[in-house]
Amino acid sequence: MRSTPVTFENRDGLKLFGIFEQPDQDASTTTVLLLSPGIKMRVGPHRMYNKLARILVDRGLNVLRFDFYGLGDSEGTIEESVLVNVYNSIQDGRYINDTLDAMDWLEQTHGQQDFILGGLCGGAITGMLTGCTDARVSGLLALGLINVFEGGEDNFTRFATDGQLNSLKEGYVKKLGDWESWKRLLTFKSDFRVIFKIINKPVRLLVKKLQGLFTRGDELSELELPPALQGTNANPKFAPAFFRMVRDAKKLLLIFSGADRLLYEFEEKFENIYKTKLAPYQSQYQVITIPQANHILSMKEWEEEMHRHVAEWIDINYQKNN
Amino acid sequence: MNEELKFIDSAGEQLFVIEHQPDNPQPTKAYVFLHPFAEEKLWSHRVYVTTARAFCAQGCLVMRFDFRGHGDSGGEFLNSSLERHNQDIDAVISHVKQRYPEIQSLGLFGLRLGGTLASQAAARRGDVDELVLWDPVLSGDRYMQEILRSNLAAQMAVKGKVEVTRDDLIAQMKAGKPINVEGYYLTHDYFQELSTLNLQATEFPEGLKCCLVQIVKNPKQPFNKQYEQFFERFAEGSQLQKAQEEPFWKEIKTFYDRADNLLDQTLNWLD
């Protein structure tokens, strides 16, 4: 694998830093852009992107890992001082232009015209928001794709998914015989908002069902959330971007971690809501869950499983490069 | 200011380096930045970048690099050892001396374990004139216990309970099975090496100056006695200071791209 440190300018004249990795022989015509996850730089947590890059390059693809403006080594500054606000700005598309500029640079300097956009979490959603509008993008390799805005711990009760509430419910049931837990409850130290939300769940589900009877997802305008998602933290740009990707026959590999709330978020605030609308596109995207894995796939076996799925997906969809 | 990124050789493997070159084409002072351990490196990365740019704006040549097994350098974290770290530090310093023969003063900068490794290198090499240490780890043993605690915390987060105790983790490493620290695999040899680091017992060359900054949550917090004791080893012109900052080497609620209090005190000292 050849690794070359590179810099290029984004449209605002800021220098972005990255590493361009290519197979030792045979120039590839497809480049995977691994987009920075959240505020972490181009190497990703525990060098996840470096290791993933090797898998991709071994399969004949080029990889560009680069830092968005204000992050890693790149120039520029981020004005937000609260981390959750930075995350939300990324999920709202903050780095679409940097991603487009990276593709332009690769096209101009290396003749690349076919791109797979990939990444973890914020990198994945940036890839989807960019890929849905650019014809050069043929695929999305999304790890822990995020379809919601971050509520932060302060908003946990408001944005907790049903999956999270189920897990909490199990915890509360187990503690029924525990005097300390009762003491917490009786001295008002327990989180009553969460408890109320758990108790109230059947009512909420019924209301959602009734709302669904009167509205279908595909009748909605592009950025309008269906009633079942209104008032939630669902990202209104997510569904339109997803559907544009699949309608344009782009290939999507979505890998989720089994112990990550993002899996519940995706199922509850996207897949279940748009079930009918998604049906014709089932062959277009693949959803894989790595059981018990955490958000950053910190265990070697989880990461290796992710590598196997990525390699398989590349082999099936990008055989020309092998 | 110009920034050049490249790979240099360290014992036959690639070492990723960024040179922050000041406007003065013949700088006489250089600083080599040593980053902290594993994921702490990533969380503090942006502060390192803005600090390097600030040093450079004051006329210093700054070299930042990734230890092998970290960042964009070659090698695997699993093979980490103090010997390899020392090779990397030496490779960067040799590169500076070769490329910039006009450099008259060499400094090392480090946060947390980066500060420890910087201090060790200064003691070992004898050609380092200045140290800038931000909250350095004085006791490797205590720091490694902290690292083990992070493994236990991860078990709690994923499994809801601690299945493998601290003693089990050490036994596991001894038996040849590296343990997981936020995705990085730590071997027993490396764990042992880091555990034996003890800056209080390190002898420093005469004339070595140091700017030691203790990071505090509250400015009224007193100086750490161990830092005061450690600081006594350094030459006249050294400075022990406190700076109020959040622990930006781990995930916190604030987006931390610069540590202004630390930086102001450090730049004043450099002046």
CA distances from B245 to B19, B133, B216, B217, B228 (A): 27, 15, 6, 6, 19
Query: Of the candidates A28, A102, A23, which has an alpha carbon nearest to the alpha carbon of residue A55?
Result: A23
Inter-chain touch A39–B46, beta carbons under 8 Å: yes
What is the SS3 assignment for A95? Answer: coil
Query: Phi, psi at residue B91, to the nearest 5°?
Result: -65, -40
Token representation of residue B254? 């604030």
Helix (H) or strand (E) holding B46: helix B38-57
Inter-chain touch A83–B154, beta carbons under 8 Å: no
Confidence grade of residue A322 (pLDDT, cut at 50, 70, 90): very low
Distance CA B44, CA B257 (A): 8
Distance CA B191, CA B195 (A): 6
| pLDDT averaged over every residue in chain B | 96
B63-83: pLDDT as tens digits: 999 999 999 999 999 999 999
Q: Averaged over A105-134, what is the pLDDT?
A: 97
Q: Averaged over A14-32, what is the pLDDT?
A: 93
Using left for φ > 0, alpha for ψ between -120 and 50, and beta otherwise, residue A191 falls in beta
Confidence at residue A320, expressed as pLDDT on a 0 to 100 scale: 56
Residue A56: is its pLDDT beyond 70?
A: yes
Residue A155: is its pLDDT beyond 70?
A: no
Nearest CA in chain A to B256: A81
Q: Averaged over B198-212, what is the pLDDT?
A: 96
Inter-chain touch B253–A292, beta carbons under 8 Å: no
Q: Tell me what ipTM this predicted complex has.
A: 0.94
Count the alpha carbons within 13 Å of A262 in the hemisphere toward its beta carbon: 28
The residue count for chain A: 322
Query: Of the candidates A18, A11, A120, which has an alpha carbon nearest to the alpha carbon of residue A74?
Result: A18
3-state SS of chain A: helix, strand, coil percent to 5? 50, 20, 35
Q: Averaged over B200-226, what is the pLDDT?
A: 96
Query: Of the candidates A32, A258, A264, A63, which has an alpha carbon nearest to the alpha carbon of residue A127?
Result: A32
Nearest to A46 among B14, B49, B183 (CB): B183
Inter-chain touch B254–A82, beta carbons under 8 Å: yes
For B51-69, the DSSP string reads HHHHHHHTT-EEEEE--TT
What is the SS3 assignment for B167? Answer: helix
Nearest to A45 among B3, B39, B46 (CB): B39
| Lowest mean pLDDT segment, chosen from A83-97, A203-217, B148-162, B175-189 | A203-217
Task: For residue A40, list chain B residues with Cβ-Cβ distance below 8 A.
Answer: 42
| pLDDT averaged over every residue in chain A | 88
Query: Of the candidates A27, A138, A117, which has an alpha carbon nearest to the alpha carbon of residue A65?
Result: A117
Most B-contacting residue of A7, A17, A46 (CB-CB within 10 A), to test interface: A46
A211-270: pLDDT as tens digits: 555 544 444 455 678 888 888 889 999 999 999 999 999 999 999 999 899 999 999 999
Tell whether B164 is within 8 A of chain A (Cβ): no
Residue B139: is its pLDDT beyond 80?
A: yes
Token representation of residue A248? 């344009």
Tell whether B193 is within 8 A of chain A (Cβ): no
Secondary structure letter of residue A135 according to DSSP: T
Confidence at residue A218, expressed as pLDDT on a 0 to 100 scale: 46
Inter-chain touch A298–B77, beta carbons under 8 Å: no
